[in-house]
Structure 1
Amino acid sequence: MKVSLNWIKDYVKLPEDMDLTRLAYDLTMSTVEVEGAEDLAKRFEHMLVGVVTEVCPHPNADKLRICRTDIGGGDIREIVCGGTNLTAGMRVAVACPGALCRWHGEGEPVEIKESKLRGVKSYGMICAASEIGLGDLFPTDEEAHILDLSAFDIAAGTSIADALDLHDIILEIDNKSMTNRPDLWGHYGLAREIAALYGLPLSRFRPFPRDLPAGDLTVTVEDPERCPRYIGAELTGVCVKPSPFWMQSRLWRAGMRPINALVDITNYVMLATGQPTHAFDSDNIQGHIIVRRAKEGEKLLLLNGKDLSLSTDDLVIADDAGVVALAGVMGGAKDSVLPTTHKVILEVANFNAAGVRRTALRYDNRTEASSRYEKAIDPQRCDQALELAAELFRQLYPEVEFTGLVDHYPAPMACKELDVALSWLERRLGKPLTQEDVSHKLGLLGFTTSFSGDTMHVTVPSWRSTGDVSIQADIMEEVARMYGYENFEAAPITTSFDGAINQLDKDLERRIKEYLAIRCGLQEIFTYPWMDEQYVNAILQDTTGILSLSTPPSPTEKMIRSSLLPNLCKAVVKNERYFTDFSLFETAQVFRDENYTAPYDEREKLPSQRKHLGAAFVGSDKDITTLFRRAKGVVEAMPRYTHMEAYTLRQVEKPVWADTVVWLNLYLGEEHIGDLALLSKKVSMECGIKNLAVMLLELDMDALIPFRSRTNTFTHLPEYPMTDYDVSVLVDGETRWDAMRDAILEKRHELLHGVSFVDEYRGKQVPEGKKSVTLRLTIGSAEKTLTSQEIEACAASAVKRLAKHVGAELRGK
């Protein structure tokens, strides 16, 4: 935001010897970040007013002319110029050698030098407004028109800065540094801060009489929550004419283009007070003004030419004939100030910040007004805006008459009140404070205070009560910045450590990532938190409970991820072009429209958010068995290597995206925590995966239970040899390997140290409905070398348990 120091001086009288560097530093350290300060007059160094005494044709160029120009004190210089509007006696802007100008208003500034143009020597340059940066202040439709200063009664040789009163300092304020300070989005707000910093008096606006009758003006506010206050003032005796140069100049310095007196007054008031205003042509308002929500199908043509189809969430200004303005954003083209306007209705209103923000974003139409409303302006500021506007109307239109005034303010805003302990402030700031000092510092900012013992009761001024100051820490910040942050001495932080915090869940997540990436060779990926509809429809199929973004990055990516699998499959498709054998994994939060929680306030409910692990094992569709075993091995071994409670793999309920045969569910106790399965051929084709098999894993990491400490124990290597003893048994074709393992190990023989799966056979030598399973028993003793009889006895015990629990028969008997 650009701020004129001369404008600031209207409201606070700065010392003549005020150091600009110090002012910028103090504002930056206490209030807002000053990015730069420009002495405006320096833009126009070596530029002065010249009077053209004679215009002669150029002997060697049809479009150029030679202008004999008085540059002061009777010093006549010849300047070659191509301006089409040059006449004798015309006052012009002359850039003398050394000045910086932009040719035809474009490109980088170049230094003007004495030179020859088509063989004729030219002293300097007679400039168009755009060439010296005054294009917005002196607009023209003709590119070759020279800046005509004949309307200004100034002598030849006067510097441009003196002639146009451009001696001013322009402060460039970083908008981000005052996002939470709506009171600073106008010159008066910054003047109030400067007055507080230096203890200077602040000027007030001239009061406006509030006892005026409503006259024929009526206002109805149907949505007081979105429009807490609406002031309408009807004026006659006005017309469309240029505003005075001093007003145009101030608007230009603040970065706005002058339009006409009526519009310029509304913009001037906004830049001065931070409160937007708008003027309607009263003759075009039919009936009375209504502030309401837009109706379905209503349309509005804005001042900038945009034709909108309105939403029922939009707040609008309407009359009996329809919508005339988009509240807080922009007025309509047919009802705002027109060339024939002679009577206006001035709107000074307060609109809800969130509503204005939504509307401006919906139509991609952020304006100077909406930028201020969406910061949450206080309703009391409407009074300042009305007072300044009335003064300006009287100044620019001596015949103006206020014929009606309506102030709809049913629920005046209550100022925020807080209790803060002085001892708490001292402890937090590390500086002894007195009641008098604190009360004085806060009083300069408009806060009122009272004390009851150690407790200070603070009433926040209206312009800081819209969310900026709401907790004790905000009061502490106000006191600290008024003392000056540089006036606080650094002190060592004192604290006590009660012991390290062991975040088991974070450690487990780290171990899982290291296990997958280092031991298992998977590549970690990171994807966006939204999902593509193509993969959602293919994999999840049911979109119930999936949250959507209000402003998605693209029309097909509006759903927030409720599963990691769609994005994993999208990553597989992208990598499929380069690799045929690879594995990916990702850990990230997933969101579901269920189990809402409100950690701080019921109005801030959050969806269910769980941390998930997703992985994709990709290989040739000709060797699915190897791919399945690899994926299953990674999943089965993970609890051991990452030190967490083991889960089990069962077949209970097939995921909708899975193959009909190759799938497993992960259970921790009786809780279903994930799935491991082969992506079905149909889903693979819908995702665009060709000629590859994909094993997918999704696991709820929040359900995993890490061990509180490592469970590994030291065991001596056996001193006596262990024996591997293979047995082949016939079992029912549906018998699972894990059931056989559990049967053997439940009450194992004392010499049995382990059992593992070797092979499975079905064929002619095996009865129908049966299968032959070969198991390897690890048998041994820590005390001696076993005899063959002892080994046979241990193996027989294992076979006996298999026969009892799964009906196994030793093959060949």
Structure 2
Amino acid sequence: MKLSLNWIKKYVDLPAGLTMEKLSYDLTMSTVEVEEATDLAESLSGLVVGRILTVEPHPDADKLRVCTVDTGDPAPSVIVCGGVNLAPAQLVAVAKPGAIVKWHGEGEPVEIKPAKLRGVMSFGMICASDEIGLGELFPATRHAEIMDLSAFDAKPGQPLAEALGLDDVILEIDNKSMTNRPDLWGHYGMARELAAIYNRELKPIEKMPLPDTDGGLDVVIEAPERCPRYCALVIKNIKNVPSPFELQSMLWRVGSRPINLPVDITNYLMFATGVPTHAFDRQHVGAAIRVRCARSGEKLELLDGTMLDLTPQDLVIANETKPMALAGIMGGKLDSILPETTDIILEIANFEALGIRKSSQRLDVRTEGSARWEKGIDPQRADDAVAMAVSMIKEAFPDSQIAGYVDKYPLPLENARVSVGLDFLRRRLGRELTAGEVTGILSRLGFAVEVGGGELLVTAPAWRSTGDISLPDDILEEVARLTGYENFDFTPPTVLLEKAVNQKEVRLERSLREYLAFRCNMQEIFTYPWVNDEFVRAAGVREEDMLALSTPPAPEEAHLRSSLVPGIMKAVSDNLRYFTDFRIFELTEVFFDRNYRSASRSSEDELLPEMARHLAGAFVGSDARGLYRAAKGVLAYMHRAAQMEPLSFAQVEKPAWGDERLWVNVTCGREVIGDLALLSPKSAKAAGVKRSLAVIFEIDVEKLSALPSRQNAFVHLPEYPLSDFDLSIIFDETVKWADVEAIARKADLVKDVKFLDEYRGRQVGCGKKSVSFRVWVGSDKGTLTSEQIETVSKQLVKKIGRKFGGDVRGA
């Protein structure tokens, strides 16, 4: 938000000698963050008022003129200019040598220097408004039009900032730092704050007499919970004319574009008091104003031409037949100030913050008014806005008449009251404070204080009673910031050194991430908690089982994830634009709607979703079985690195996104905790996964059992050497390696078994596969002879053959 220091000084006399650096520092340390302070006079340095004495054609350029200009120096300056509206006796803005301007309002700023233009020396520049940053305040009506200042009472050589009344400082305030301070969203509120900081007197807004008639206007508030107060001034005999330069200048300085005098007055009231106001054409309103919720099917065209389809959630200002404005956000195009308007109804109302915020977000209409209402402006402030409005109307339109005034206030504001103990303040602030000191500080801020023993009953003013002040800690903050945080003595914190706590669950999560990233060469990704419906459908997740967002970031991202698989699919699809082989994983929360009541809820009726940590990953490449074996190996050896119970595998129920050929469920103990599968062609097509294959896994981390420590056991090295041999056995496609391995390990003298490879092709027949594996054998009694090794091999083949019907390949 932009603030004009001159505007603030209308309401408070700041200390003499106060520098902008000091003011910015004090305001930042006590109240809000001042991002920047811009001195307008400094930005117009080197620019003066000049009076054109003569205008002559340039001897060598048809579009240039040679001017002699009185710039306050002893001798006139010769300036070559291409302006189309140059005339003798005209007052203009002159950039003297050394000034900084933008040529034709474009490009980087340049310094003006004496230069020869087509053979004629020029000692300065006669400026157009956009060349010196004043294009919005002095809009040009044609190309190459210079800035005409003849209407101003200025003298040649006078600094331009002084002549235009722009010797002002603009403070840029960070909006986030004042989100909870609706009283500061106006110059009068900020002046009140500065008056408290520097212990100065705030000038009151003069109250003006109001008529005791309603001017033939009836106001009905049908939704008082959405509109606690509505004031309307009926004003006759106004004109839709341009505003005086001073008013235009005030609005321009704070970033608002001047429009016309009636509209500029409403904007001035908003920037002055913080209360957004709006003016309706009296002839379009009729006999009554209705503040009501919109009806289904109603439409409204806004001032900017946007056509809205309204719903009952939207609050509107209506006459007897139709909506005229979207309450607190923007007026309607057909019923606001028009070129022929002579009588108006000036709305000075108060609207509930949450309703304005929801309508503004849903309809995607953001305005200066909605930005203020959604902060929670107090209804009492309407009195200041009404008084200032009457004063400005009478000054701007001397022939106008305040023909009526209506003030409906069905829900009066109750001032916030907080009880706080002196001991509480002393203990939390770390310094001694008397009741008198606390009362003095709070009184400067407009608080009323009743002292009873060691307790203070604090009543907040209306402008601080809309949610800002509600707790003893809020009073503590007010005392601390007005005392000055830099004035508190440093108290070192108490540090207690305790034993480290072994958090198995935290360690498990970190170990999983390190294992996958460092040892498995996988890249960790981070995705949004909401998921695109396209990938939800591709994963076969039912939308009705997911949590819906009340205000989704996009229409197609309306649900919170209940599985990480859709997000992993999207990541695979996105990364396939750049890579063909990669490995990714994500460990984060998923959300379920199971009417789960959190044990840490702050109220009995608070309903929170159930959250659980899941781990998902994808192996992407061209070899389906190689990817599947790699992913399965990562999960099978995970327990060694992460210090947890080992995982096992079984086929119980195929995941919706899995391929019929390669899938398995992941189990821990006897419970299924996840899935591992090749992404099916149908799901891959729906997710946009092309030209590569993907094997995906997902497990429920909450079901993993972390072990307190590794259980190491000492085992002697074999006393006699082991021998190994390889076998290749042909099986049916349905035979699983895990079953073959289990049988082989139980054979006599077998010490270890390791899978080597699989083969499918014409040599083994249709529906068959050749499995190659290595077997290590040995004895604790001596070295095995070749005959003993041969015997073990034959017995093993026979045992496997009886169980699975396998034949030794090549036998």
Q: Place the TM-score, normalised by the shorter chain, in its bin.
A: 0.7 to 0.9
Amino acid at match of 1:300: L
- Give deviations 1:503-534, integer Å, cap 9, x for gaps: 22121011122333344444433334343444
Matched residue SS, 2:153: coil
How far does residue 109 in structure 1 lie from its aligned partner after superposition? 3.4
Q: Which runs of 5+ in 2 are unaligned?
A: 760-769
For 1:489 and 1:652, locate their aligned partners in 2 and report how far apart those are by CA, in whole Å: 67
Q: Is the alpha carbon distance of 1:78 and 1:461 closer, same or farther for their aligned partners in structure 2, counting shifts above 3 Å? A: same
Q: Which runs of 5+ in 1 are unaligned?
A: 762-770
Q: Given that residues 47 and 95 in structure 1 are in contact (C-alpha distance below 8 angstroms), is that contact kept between their aligned partners in structure 2?
A: yes
The aligned residue for residue 281 of structure 1 is: 281
For 1:587 and 1:127, locate their aligned partners in 2 and report how far apart those are by CA, in whole Å: 62
Where does 1:28-39 land on structure 2 (aligned, <5 Å)? 28-39=28-39
Q: Given that residues 317 and 324 in structure 2 are in contact (C-alpha distance below 8 angstroms), is that contact kept between their aligned partners in structure 1?
A: yes
Q: Given that residues 181 and 375 in structure 2 are in contact (C-alpha distance below 8 angstroms), is that contact kept between their aligned partners in structure 1?
A: yes
Q: Is the alpha carbon distance of 1:443 and 1:516 closer, same or farther for their aligned partners in structure 2, counting shifts above 3 Å? A: same
The aligned residue for residue 378 of structure 1 is: 378
For 1:16 and 1:107, locate their aligned partners in 2 and report how far apart those are by CA, in whole Å: 40
The aligned residue for residue 333 of structure 2 is: 333
The aligned residue for residue 765 of structure 1 is: none
Q: Is the alpha carbon distance of 1:742 and 1:155 closer, same or farther for their aligned partners in structure 2, counting shifts above 3 Å? A: closer
The aligned residue for residue 567 of structure 1 is: 567
For 1:266 and 1:477, locate their aligned partners in 2 and report how far apart those are by CA, in whole Å: 34
How far does residue 93 in structure 1 lie from its aligned partner after superposition? 2.9
For 1:650 and 1:698, locate their aligned partners in 2 and report how far apart those are by CA, in whole Å: 15
Comparing 7-16 with 119-128, greater Cα deviation is found at 119-128
Q: Is the alpha carbon distance of 1:673 and 1:417 closer, same or farther for their aligned partners in structure 2, counting shifts above 3 Å? A: farther
How far does residue 698 in structure 1 lie from its aligned partner after superposition? 1.0
TM-score scaled by length of structure 1: 0.85
The aligned residue for residue 212 of structure 2 is: 212
For 1:517 and 1:50, locate their aligned partners in 2 and report how far apart those are by CA, in whole Å: 71
How far does residue 123 in structure 1 lie from its aligned partner after superposition? 4.1
Amino acid at match of 2:160: I
Q: Is the alpha carbon distance of 1:452 and 1:634 closer, same or farther for their aligned partners in structure 2, counting shifts above 3 Å? A: same
Where does 1:661-676 land on structure 2 (aligned, <5 Å)? 662-669=662-669, 671-676=671-676
How far does residue 755 in structure 1 lie from its aligned partner after superposition? 8.2
The aligned residue for residue 304 of structure 1 is: 304
The aligned residue for residue 272 of structure 1 is: 272
How far does residue 236 in structure 1 lie from its aligned partner after superposition? 1.3
Q: Given that residues 727 and 775 in structure 1 are in contact (C-alpha distance below 8 angstroms), is that contact kept between their aligned partners in structure 2?
A: yes
For 1:688 and 1:670, locate their aligned partners in 2 and report how far apart those are by CA, in whole Å: 35
For 1:454 and 1:742, locate their aligned partners in 2 and report how far apart those are by CA, in whole Å: 79
Q: Is the alpha carbon distance of 1:629 and 1:105 closer, same or farther for their aligned partners in structure 2, counting shifts above 3 Å? A: closer
Q: Given that residues 585 and 617 in structure 2 are in contact (C-alpha distance below 8 angstroms), is that contact kept between their aligned partners in structure 1?
A: yes
- Give deviations 1:100-146, integer Å, cap 9, x for gaps: 33333333333334444444444433333333333333333123333
Matched residue SS, 2:463: helix
For 2:734 and 2:48, locate their aligned partners in 1 and report how far apart those are by CA, in whole Å: 101
Where does 1:509-528 land on structure 2 (aligned, <5 Å)? 509-528=509-528
Amino acid at match of 2:183: D
How far does residue 645 in structure 1 lie from its aligned partner after superposition? 3.0
The aligned residue for residue 602 of structure 2 is: 600
In the TM superposition, structure 1's runs of 4+ consecutive aligned residues that sit over 6 Å from their partners are: 577-580, 720-729, 731-745, 751-761, 771-781, 784-788, 806-811
Q: Given that residues 545 and 594 in structure 1 are in contact (C-alpha distance below 8 angstroms), is that contact kept between their aligned partners in structure 2?
A: no
For 2:73 and 2:720, locate their aligned partners in 1 and report how far apart those are by CA, in whole Å: 119
- Give deviations 1:404-428, integer Å, cap 9, x for gaps: 2222221222233333333333233
The aligned residue for residue 500 of structure 1 is: 500
Where does 1:154-303 land on structure 2 (aligned, <5 Å)? 154-209=154-209, 212-303=212-303
How far does residue 373 in structure 1 lie from its aligned partner after superposition? 1.8
Q: Given that residues 237 and 400 in structure 2 are in contact (C-alpha distance below 8 angstroms), is that contact kept between their aligned partners in structure 1?
A: yes
- Give deviations 1:615-657, integer Å, cap 9, x for gaps: 2244545x63x55444333323323442223454333322222
Matched residue SS, 1:473: helix
Q: Given that residues 679 and 696 in structure 1 are in contact (C-alpha distance below 8 angstroms), is that contact kept between their aligned partners in structure 2?
A: yes
Where does 1:682-693 land on structure 2 (aligned, <5 Å)? 682-689=682-689, 693=693
Q: Aligned residue pairs: how many?
A: 792
For 1:519 and 1:718, locate their aligned partners in 2 and report how far apart those are by CA, in whole Å: 29
How far does residue 74 in structure 1 lie from its aligned partner after superposition? 8.2
For 2:327 and 2:236, locate their aligned partners in 1 and report how far apart those are by CA, in whole Å: 24
For 2:702 and 2:96, locate their aligned partners in 1 and report how far apart those are by CA, in whole Å: 75
Q: Given that residues 221 and 227 in structure 1 are in contact (C-alpha distance below 8 angstroms), is that contact kept between their aligned partners in structure 2?
A: yes
Matched residue SS, 1:594: coil
How far does residue 12 in structure 1 lie from its aligned partner after superposition? 0.9
How far does residue 195 in structure 1 lie from its aligned partner after superposition? 0.7
Where does 1:44-59 land on structure 2 (aligned, <5 Å)? 44-59=44-59
How far does residue 45 in structure 1 lie from its aligned partner after superposition? 3.5
Matched, 1:611 2:613: yes
For 1:711 and 1:614, locate their aligned partners in 2 and report how far apart those are by CA, in whole Å: 27
Q: Given that residues 82 and 144 in structure 1 are in contact (C-alpha distance below 8 angstroms), is that contact kept between their aligned partners in structure 2?
A: yes
Matched residue SS, 1:13: coil
Comparing 532-541 with 324-333, greater Cα deviation is found at 532-541
How far does residue 75 in structure 1 lie from its aligned partner after superposition? 5.0
Where does 1:638-653 land on structure 2 (aligned, <5 Å)? 638-653=638-653
The aligned residue for residue 707 of structure 2 is: 707
The aligned residue for residue 445 of structure 1 is: 445
Matched residue SS, 2:637: helix
- Give deviations 1:207-251, integer Å, cap 9, x for gaps: 245673323112222333332222222111322223333322222
The aligned residue for residue 768 of structure 1 is: none
For 1:155 and 1:513, locate their aligned partners in 2 and report how far apart those are by CA, in whole Å: 74
For 1:129 and 1:635, locate their aligned partners in 2 and report how far apart those are by CA, in whole Å: 70
How far does residue 54 in structure 1 lie from its aligned partner after superposition? 4.1
Matched, 1:344 2:348: no
Q: Is the alpha carbon distance of 1:634 and 1:160 closer, same or farther for their aligned partners in structure 2, counting shifts above 3 Å? A: closer
For 2:241 and 2:727, locate their aligned partners in 1 and report how far apart those are by CA, in whole Å: 106
For 1:153 and 1:772, locate their aligned partners in 2 and report how far apart those are by CA, in whole Å: 101
Where does 1:445-594 land on structure 2 (aligned, <5 Å)? 445-548=445-548, 556-574=556-574, 582-594=582-594
Amino acid at match of 2:7: W
Q: Is the alpha carbon distance of 1:663 and 1:778 closer, same or farther for their aligned partners in structure 2, counting shifts above 3 Å? A: same
Amino acid at match of 1:377: I
Q: Given that residues 635 and 647 in structure 2 are in contact (C-alpha distance below 8 angstroms), is that contact kept between their aligned partners in structure 1?
A: no
For 2:753 and 2:73, locate their aligned partners in 1 and report how far apart those are by CA, in whole Å: 111
For 2:126 and 2:453, locate their aligned partners in 1 and report how far apart those are by CA, in whole Å: 72
Amino acid at match of 2:565: L
Q: Given that residues 52 and 90 in structure 1 are in contact (C-alpha distance below 8 angstroms), is that contact kept between their aligned partners in structure 2?
A: yes
TM-score scaled by length of structure 2: 0.85
Q: Given that residues 286 and 321 in structure 1 are in contact (C-alpha distance below 8 angstroms), is that contact kept between their aligned partners in structure 2?
A: no
The aligned residue for residue 6 of structure 1 is: 6
How far does residue 496 in structure 1 lie from its aligned partner after superposition? 2.4
For 2:692 and 2:582, locate their aligned partners in 1 and report how far apart those are by CA, in whole Å: 11
The aligned residue for residue 696 of structure 1 is: 696
Q: Given that residues 727 and 810 in structure 1 are in contact (C-alpha distance below 8 angstroms), is that contact kept between their aligned partners in structure 2?
A: no
For 2:681 and 2:169, locate their aligned partners in 1 and report how far apart those are by CA, in whole Å: 71
For 1:143 and 1:690, locate their aligned partners in 2 and report how far apart those are by CA, in whole Å: 55
Q: Is the alpha carbon distance of 1:688 and 1:51 closer, same or farther for their aligned partners in structure 2, counting shifts above 3 Å? A: closer
Give aligned-pair identity as a percent.
50
Comparing 400-409 with 357-366, greater Cα deviation is found at 357-366
Q: Is the alpha carbon distance of 1:642 and 1:77 closer, same or farther for their aligned partners in structure 2, counting shifts above 3 Å? A: closer
For 2:741 and 2:89, locate their aligned partners in 1 and report how far apart those are by CA, in whole Å: 111
How far does residue 604 in structure 1 lie from its aligned partner after superposition? 6.1
- Give deviations 1:182-204, integer Å, cap 9, x for gaps: 22121111111111111111111
How far does residue 26 in structure 1 lie from its aligned partner after superposition? 0.9
Amino acid at match of 2:225: E
For 1:432 and 1:138, locate their aligned partners in 2 and report how far apart those are by CA, in whole Å: 57
Q: Given that residues 270 and 276 in structure 2 are in contact (C-alpha distance below 8 angstroms), is that contact kept between their aligned partners in structure 1?
A: yes
For 1:459 and 1:21, locate their aligned partners in 2 and report how far apart those are by CA, in whole Å: 34
Amino acid at match of 1:306: T
For 2:553 and 2:421, locate their aligned partners in 1 and report how far apart those are by CA, in whole Å: 48
Comparing 447-456 with 317-326, greater Cα deviation is found at 447-456
How far does residue 541 in structure 1 lie from its aligned partner after superposition? 4.9
- Give deviations 1:726-748, integer Å, cap 9, x for gaps: 9999x999999989999999xx9
For 1:495 and 1:734, locate their aligned partners in 2 and report how far apart those are by CA, in whole Å: 64
The aligned residue for residue 677 of structure 2 is: 677
Matched residue SS, 2:418: strand
Matched, 1:356 2:353: no
